[in-house]
């Protein structure tokens, strides 16, 4: 490509000659990106496709400019722009050369490379740029394993991660400009928190398009998957069965797909931030690995759009939403580990949170407490988990019920989901 062609593309993505839309601010992320850039290490922004990474990088760009950085000292490149005819390190050299020649930045530039995994050999170019001290660099991508593996090879100890999720409930309130209310919570349960979906009147259509996009670009094409229909079948099964226990061998029997293939595809789903699999809590690693795992979707809206629902399962959706909120907490505190608890009689507690060598919280999700038998069953499982883990406090998250119970020196707190989501941020 000629330098003039490159410059035309770059002008469309940068603030050099015009003000670009930056979307609704998400300061928790943009502040972290800018703070990490100050550390003079490569900043890696990861998260599922369409979770808002591009807009966050653009918001970080605008924040730097507002704080006095010359806009000509910032270069933003979106590698999914179809006008780039090839994606390799030669293109990176040509882009940087054209930028330097036409913009002539006076200070050290800040580079924002969006969806950088599309560029073959990008990691060594980034390492050279960083090691030569040519400026600061922030990259984004939609595949956890690829970025981690490639950076781990060439940038050990030289990068900082910023993990982006779809909107939290509190962020959704900002996007919609409303106070927390039951109707908004129901919408969140139904359609999730992808930013564009939250503001769109075509929610179902967008969610289905996102799924096809992730499946095609981040999975089938990236991993050269030949059994695309099997992968799609497996993904739909998982989305139809969120918050349930599963094993690869049991799925082999029900879906007719080889267990080894299911295990491989499941790993791909995690790498693309599509699904998460939670292990059973045990002090024995072998028991953890052998036990079934619970599956959760990155977004309840995506699960509802893609999965087959036999009935309105608000309890499973609420549990999935709580898991995603706990994952956000884990992002800010990597020492936090998330498990479920289950005993030999198959009595189960939804979440065990562990830090260091001991567990510190157990959480049970009980959506509808009107049925007394259900209430007693869920409380019995929670108390068994508390006894097993030597904890004196437990938490039950409900639809609307709020209560505090104290007995036998143990305290169980009941709180509505909307309050949990508010308290957790």
What does the pLDDT look like over 326-370, one tens digit per residue? 999 998 888 999 999 999 999 999 999 998 877 789 999 998 888
* CA pair distance 351, 281, nearest whole angstrom: 9
Dihedral over alpha carbons 296, 115, 328, 346 (to 10 degrees): 20
For 403, counting Cβ atoms within 10 Å of its Cβ (0-12 exposed, 13-18 middle, 19+ buried), the class is exposed
**Does residue 40 sit in the same domain as residue 59?**
yes
User: Average pLDDT of 231-253?
Assistant: 96
**Does residue 219 sit in the same domain as residue 235?**
yes
Q: pLDDT value at position 142? A: 82
Q: What is the pTM of this model?
A: 0.93
Residue with tokens 């095609």: 216
Q: List Cβ neighbours of 30 (8 Å cut-off, separation of 6 or more).
A: 56, 59, 60, 63
Q: Are 55 and 173 in contact (CB under 8 A)?
A: no
Query: pLDDT band at 47, cuts 50/70/90?
Result: very high
Q: Are 320 and 303 in contact (CB under 8 A)?
A: yes
Asked which of 163, 185, 215 is the last residue of a domain, the reply is 163
Q: What is the DSSP letter of 283?
A: S
For 66, counting Cβ atoms within 10 Å of its Cβ (0-12 exposed, 13-18 middle, 19+ buried), the class is exposed
**Does residue 137 sit in the same domain as residue 196?**
no
Q: pLDDT value at position 45? A: 93
The 10s digit of each residue's pLDDT in 130-182 is 889 999 999 998 876 555 555 656 665 577 889 999 999 999 999 999 999 99
**Does residue 51 sit in the same domain as residue 185?**
no
**Does residue 146 sit in the same domain as residue 181?**
no
User: Average pLDDT of 301-326?
Assistant: 91
Q: List, edge to edge, every strand of the sheet that includes 293-297.
A: 245-246, 293-297, 275-278
Provide the sign of the torsion angle of the four alpha carbons 344, 347, 349, 350, taken in this order. Answer: positive
Q: Are 34 and 63 in contact (CB under 8 A)?
A: yes
Task: Give Cα 326 to chain centroid, integer Å.
Answer: 11
Q: List, edge to edge, every strand of the sheet that includes 110-114.
A: 74-78, 110-114, 136-141, 42-46, 159-163
Q: pLDDT value at position 161? A: 87
Asked which of 140, 163, 186 is the last residue of a domain, the reply is 163
**Does residue 140 sit in the same domain as residue 211?**
no
Please say if the pLDDT value at position 425 is more than 60.
Answer: no
- Per the document, the length of the chain is 425
Asked which of 163, 182, 206 is the last residue of a domain, the reply is 163
CATH of the domain at 14: 3.40.50.300
Question: What tokens were used for 100?
Answer: 């330097």
Query: pLDDT band at 39, cuts 50/70/90?
Result: confident
Residue ranges in 294-415 assigned as alpha helix (H): 300-306, 314-332, 372-388
Strand, coil or helix: what is 355?
strand
Provide the sign of the torsion angle of the four alpha carbons 302, 306, 307, 312, taken in this order. Answer: positive
Largest CA distance in the chain: 77
**Does residue 18 sit in the same domain as residue 81?**
yes
Q: pLDDT value at position 222? A: 85
**Does residue 136 sit in the same domain as residue 119?**
yes
Query: pLDDT band at 389, cuts 50/70/90?
Result: very high
Q: Are 181 and 340 in contact (CB under 8 A)?
A: no
Task: Give Cα 168 to chain centroid, integer Å.
Answer: 11
Please say if the pLDDT value at position 103 is more than 80.
Answer: yes
User: Average pLDDT of 394-415?
Assistant: 94
**Does residue 153 sit in the same domain as residue 218?**
no
Domain that holds residue 95: 3-163
Of 74-83, 127-136, 227-236, which gets the smallest average pLDDT? 127-136
Higher pLDDT pick, 126 / 145: 126
Q: pLDDT value at position 155? A: 65
C-alpha to C-alpha distances, 109 to 114, 281, 289, nearest whole angstrom: 16, 47, 47
Q: Are 33 and 150 in contact (CB under 8 A)?
A: no
The 10s digit of each residue's pLDDT in 246-287 is 999 999 999 999 999 999 999 999 989 999 999 999 988 888
Q: pLDDT value at position 370? A: 85
**Count of domains forming the chain:** 2
Residue with tokens 């010359």: 70
**Does residue 94 sit in the same domain as residue 242?**
no
**Does residue 158 sit in the same domain as residue 202?**
no
User: Average pLDDT of 61-87?
Assistant: 96
For residue 178, list its beta bridge partners: none
**Does residue 60 sit in the same domain as residue 142?**
yes
Q: Are 257 and 234 in contact (CB under 8 A)?
A: yes
In 181-283, the DSSP E strands lie at 245-246, 275-278
Residue 21's nearest CA partner among 45, 52, 67, 43 is 52
């Amino acid at each position: 490509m000629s330098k003039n062609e490159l410059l035309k593309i770059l002008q469309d993505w940068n603030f050099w000659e015009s003000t670009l839309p930056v979307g609704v601010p998400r300061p928790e992320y943009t502040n972290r990106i800018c703070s990490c850039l100050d550390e003079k290490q490569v900043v890696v922004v990861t998260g599922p496709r369409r979770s808002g990474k591009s807009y966050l990088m653009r918001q970080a760009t605008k924040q730097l400019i507002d704080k006095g950085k010359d806009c000509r000292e910032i270069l933003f490149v979106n590698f999914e722009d179809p006008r780039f005819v090839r994606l390799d390190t030669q293109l990176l050299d040509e882009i940087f050369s054209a930028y330097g020649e036409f913009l002539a930045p006076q200070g050290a530039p800040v580079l924002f490379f969006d969806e950088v995994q599309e560029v073959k050999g990008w990691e060594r170019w980034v390492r050279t740029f960083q090691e030569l001290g040519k400026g600061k660099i922030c990259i984004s991508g939609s595949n956890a394993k690829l970025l981690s593996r490639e950076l781990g090879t060439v940038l050990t100890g030289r990068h900082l991660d910023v993990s982006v999720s779809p909107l939290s409930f509190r962020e959704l309130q900002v996007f919609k400009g409303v106070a927390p209310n039951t109707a908004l919570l129901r919408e969140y349960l139904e359609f999730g928190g992808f930013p564009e979906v939250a503001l769109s009147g075509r929610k179902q259509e967008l969610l289905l398009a996102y799924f096809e996009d992730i499946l095609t670009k981040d999975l089938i094409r990236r991993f050269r998957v030949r059994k695309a229909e099997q992968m799609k079948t497996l993904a739909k099964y998982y989305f139809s069965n969120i918050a349930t226990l599963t094993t690869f061998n049991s799925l082999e029997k029900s879906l007719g797909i080889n267990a080894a293939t299911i295990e491989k595809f499941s790993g791909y789903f995690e790498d693309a931030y599509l699904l998460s699999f939670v292990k059973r809590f045990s002090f024995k690693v072998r028991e953890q690995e052998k036990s079934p795992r619970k599956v959760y979707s990155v977004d309840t809206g995506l699960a509802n759009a893609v999965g087959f629902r036999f009935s309105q399962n608000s309890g499973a959706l609420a549990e999935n939403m709580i898991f995603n909120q706990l994952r956000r907490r884990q992002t800010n505190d990597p020492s936090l580990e998330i498990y479920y608890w289950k005993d030999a009689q198959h009595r189960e507690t939804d979440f065990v949170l562990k830090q260091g060598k001991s567990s510190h919280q157990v959480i049970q999700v009980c959506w509808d407490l009107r049925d007394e038998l259900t209430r007693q069953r869920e409380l019995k499982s929670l108390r068994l988990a508390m006894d097993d883990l030597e904890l004196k406090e437990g938490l039950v998250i409900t639809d609307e019920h709020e209560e505090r119970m104290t007995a036998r020196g143990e305290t169980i707190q009941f709180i509505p989901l909307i309050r949990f989501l508010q308290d957790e941020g």
